[in-house]
Structure 1
């Protein structure tokens, strides 16, 4: 995609990275704020546990279903215009929990918020791409953006709890979120330059729209699956199949016969592996944080504020992985580096399954290990330079789908535990025993998914260190290098 001009793009590149990073943090903050405010929402709206589950599910389904369509709309009509629409929806949806207790209106607002989150997530990456010419500057901006998004998951829990504690009621906290979205909306036309629509992109919008239903169905099915007593092996199989879906979106619909399709699958196996690994790792991270938040409160008798502090080691682990894994990938190859990181995450889940999660001392080390492995989420440039053919936009969509799967699968397993407790109704001691059992099943699921990501990385990603790439030469008439939308653009 081309921007409106090389000079303006470079002048706004720094503020653009900051604004788009804040927009992504706000997306994560909304999810966390809503989850932490559920008790207040439940009491105010008179919702049952089933009603709360639907509020969470509809958001996950919309968020996971729309990345391909949001990206196509941005290419067809301009990324800034589509991002602005997403921020408008986010502002309006954030107001609803603050002013209304109607259950149906809350459900619709969560659907709108999921749509807004998908649009903002897809547009932020495309606009970072458009704000930088191809080369080291774009690589650094993409890398920083990916690590900010990954680290935001554990980082925003503490400020969300502090805001809820400081506010008189949950409504005040949601008003703060709405005002923050409105401020970003006002700054968007000042900081960001509109991108030029890609010729012919409008024809691809219809093709992308056809994938909304399959992706949304997958997210819903993951939630349904987690709410039923099925075997761990079945859950792992569904999760791995879901992780392959981003690649299927790119393959199908080209009118190829089956032999040609399998031949292309073999040629593009490294890109398939990269997308699959990122989806699995994002599933593990999103699911772990949700399960730990509940386990530490119910089993460790920790307050939400204490849980927020307990999650901060995950931020350190992700940043450490972001710093170390690119160096390892340059030395030993991205395949070995990613496989090693996923194996470390599997070790962290294994420790949790053996020790439990009833206190800060029990979770800090395994949380660091899992978070270090999740540093894989901050490797868009490493995957691209490995020769895999994986593009940051596709990796972003894979992370988005994985987060939706994790938010459905892991809490769903705990919901089965709640249903068991309701049938048995034998007191708090038995309830905590059920929760501990459900958390153990979740941690075992994390082990299985992390090991699956390890195997995929070893089988598909290159295991030799890449040769250093020469710096791109500036093109005639373009300041600083190739404009976005040329062959060097991930969004092209």
Structure 2
């Protein structure tokens, strides 16, 4: 197979590239980018107290990063194609590190929020370039499959690692006079700068095509995606929802701008997003499924982490460790699928993985806690509503099933999404894949948050009435009614999430037609039939 092929050579030194170190750099960058979406979540109350940020603006610490990251991914991917992927990868890492430094030392709300947006920019430059560098650095076949397995494991495990690391760092006593939450940002600085410094030693530069940047496409595409990501994020918040004026305006503006973007792309000589990227059925299916699966997975992290803390009563750090099996499981699933994809068609691996994930979400939808008024009134600081929920029998098995399934989905679908792309399209192909994940995650969380709120509303009203009738004050009844109705809303969201993944599974079985033998070949599409 291709393991016996001549190893790639460094373009400057003429020496064989050390693929192991190349993979370490790329994986380190991807893990840093992904975990930063969740590492600050647990620190939010501490940040709010220290910098005097109100609850409404506090959410922008998370939303600002997601907005810049998701909105700029297409542009970041194309810039790598045009100006050199290694160069853009290094710039992205440097920007991310500098932004993290600013965030870590921020003394006010404005600087912290600006640093999160700047982090999103750095991530949008580095992430698609990292994926494209795997395609151009590692020879097709087992070596590339293993590299994609590590990349997929870092992408999938990042959210769980972020929760654990965020919980631990936030709980630290001040180090060098700096509060623990500041280290959730500062930890990125040495990692990003070291990775950027070592990149020229272990990674080749790609051919550049300066002067071909599609400015109108970049403007309409970027602002269109920003509108959608912001609208979906706002729709998922209880304070705003789908009927909010700014939610509707943002989604409408995003849709109009993306329609203009599509017109622009059909008429320019060097489009930001060439239509040919979507022309292949297998690749288009990969993009679709990689939007549906993260939509359910991100929502799983959101609702399950709240359930474990609010209902079962785990501390933030304990909650982070409750997700540790997810990180282990996705590594196992990714390793398994990277070996199987050399012998089995990706349709079967990803198809089984999606079914496993759907079953896991269905399992979460069966979580039950006592929600009568008497049970709620018995809740105290030391007695939680979900005390009867056994983590090892009710949660752990489904976390493992979900994570192994995700590992079996991400590796083959990442391979099929970028396989046989033209060399000049590798960056934008990677950008599209990352964009689908980010936009899919934002849309999924918005939809499932709406499902959760709708399912919980009736129960919440009834519980509030019963609690007041049994002597609870209105404030006490309101908080306890929310707690009692939360599980009903979360389980409804899990059930719909299982349905989303089932749709992705159906698309995988029906339309993902590439053969495993074809994944061991290089070259642009056209030379090999890819379905």
Sort the TM-score into its range (normalised by shorter chain). Answer: 0.7 to 0.9
Distance 1:438 1:174, change over 3 A: same
- Give 1:479's aligned residue: none
Instruction: Indicate which of 473, 480, 503 corresponds to 1:429.
Output: 480
Q: How does 1:239-318 map to 2 (within 5 A)?
A: 253-254=265-266, 268-318=280-330
- Give 2:130's aligned residue: 124
Instruction: Indicate which of 381, 393, 402 corresponds to 2:440.
Output: 402
- Which structure has more relative contact order (CA 8 Å, sep 6+)? It is 1
- Give 1:341's aligned residue: 353
- Give 1:260's aligned residue: none
- Give 2:235's aligned residue: 225
Distance 1:414 1:118, change over 3 A: farther
Q: Is 1:353 matched with 2:365? A: yes
Residues 108-133 of structure 1: per-residue CA shift (max 9 Å, x gap): 22111111111111121122233234
Q: Is 1:98 matched with 2:140? A: no
Larger mean CA deviation between 386-395 and 9-18 belongs to 386-395
Distance 2:227 2:439 in 1: 12
Distance 1:251 1:459, change over 3 A: farther
Distance 1:330 1:251, change over 3 A: farther
Distance 1:17 1:329 in 2: 19
Distance 2:47 2:315 in 1: 19
- Give 1:157's aligned residue: 163
Kept in 1, the 8 Å contact 2:152–2:410? The answer is: yes
The total of aligned residue pairs comes to 457
Distance 2:211 2:450 in 1: 38
Q: Is 1:76 matched with 2:82? A: yes
Distance 1:386 1:125 in 2: 12
Distance 1:154 1:69, change over 3 A: same
- Give 1:378's aligned residue: 411
Distance 2:37 2:519 in 1: 42
Q: How does 1:453-492 map to 2 (within 5 A)?
A: 453-462=504-513, 466=515, 468-469=517-518
Kept in 2, the 8 Å contact 1:63–1:404? The answer is: no
- Give 2:4's aligned residue: none
Distance 2:519 2:182 in 1: 54
User: Structure 2 length as normaliser, TM-score?
Assistant: 0.73
Larger mean CA deviation between 370-379 and 15-24 belongs to 370-379
Distance 1:130 1:454, change over 3 A: closer
Higher helix proportion: 1
- Give 1:216's aligned residue: 226
Distance 1:371 1:249, change over 3 A: farther
Q: 1:188 offset after TM fit, Å?
A: 3.1
Distance 1:150 1:16, change over 3 A: same
Q: 1:33 offset after TM fit, Å?
A: 2.4
Distance 1:264 1:314, change over 3 A: same
Kept in 2, the 8 Å contact 1:147–1:319? The answer is: yes
Instruction: Indicate which of 468, 479, 496 corresponds to 1:445.
Output: 496
Distance 1:265 1:176, change over 3 A: closer
Distance 2:137 2:149 in 1: 14
User: Structure 1 length as normaliser, TM-score?
Assistant: 0.79
Q: 1:73 offset after TM fit, Å?
A: 0.7
- Give 1:478's aligned residue: none
Q: How does 1:162-201 map to 2 (within 5 A)?
A: 162-168=168-174, 169=179, 170-197=181-208, 199=209
Q: 1:297 offset after TM fit, Å?
A: 0.9
Unmatched 5+ residue regions in structure 2?
A: 1-7, 269-274, 370-385, 465-473
Q: 1:294 offset after TM fit, Å?
A: 1.9
Distance 1:469 1:451, change over 3 A: closer
Distance 1:84 1:332 in 2: 36
Q: 1:304 offset after TM fit, Å?
A: 1.7
Q: Is 1:368 matched with 2:400? A: yes
Larger mean CA deviation between 406-415 and 120-129 belongs to 406-415
Distance 1:404 1:24, change over 3 A: farther
Provide the secondary structure at the position in 2 that maps to 1:211.
helix
Q: 1:134 offset after TM fit, Å?
A: 4.1
Kept in 1, the 8 Å contact 2:101–2:185? The answer is: yes
Q: 1:40 offset after TM fit, Å?
A: 0.9
Distance 2:39 2:453 in 1: 20
Distance 2:452 2:103 in 1: 25
Distance 1:434 1:50, change over 3 A: farther
Distance 1:139 1:331 in 2: 12
- Give 2:46's aligned residue: 40
Q: 1:336 offset after TM fit, Å?
A: 4.3
Q: 1:187 offset after TM fit, Å?
A: 2.9
- Give 1:259's aligned residue: none
Distance 1:118 1:9 in 2: 31
Kept in 2, the 8 Å contact 1:33–1:160? The answer is: yes
Provide the secondary structure at the position in 1 that maps to 2:99.
helix
Kept in 2, the 8 Å contact 1:285–1:371? The answer is: no
Distance 2:147 2:277 in 1: 30
Kept in 1, the 8 Å contact 2:332–2:404? The answer is: yes
Kept in 1, the 8 Å contact 2:97–2:190? The answer is: yes
Q: 1:201 offset after TM fit, Å?
A: 7.1
Q: 1:180 offset after TM fit, Å?
A: 2.9
Q: 1:456 offset after TM fit, Å?
A: 2.1
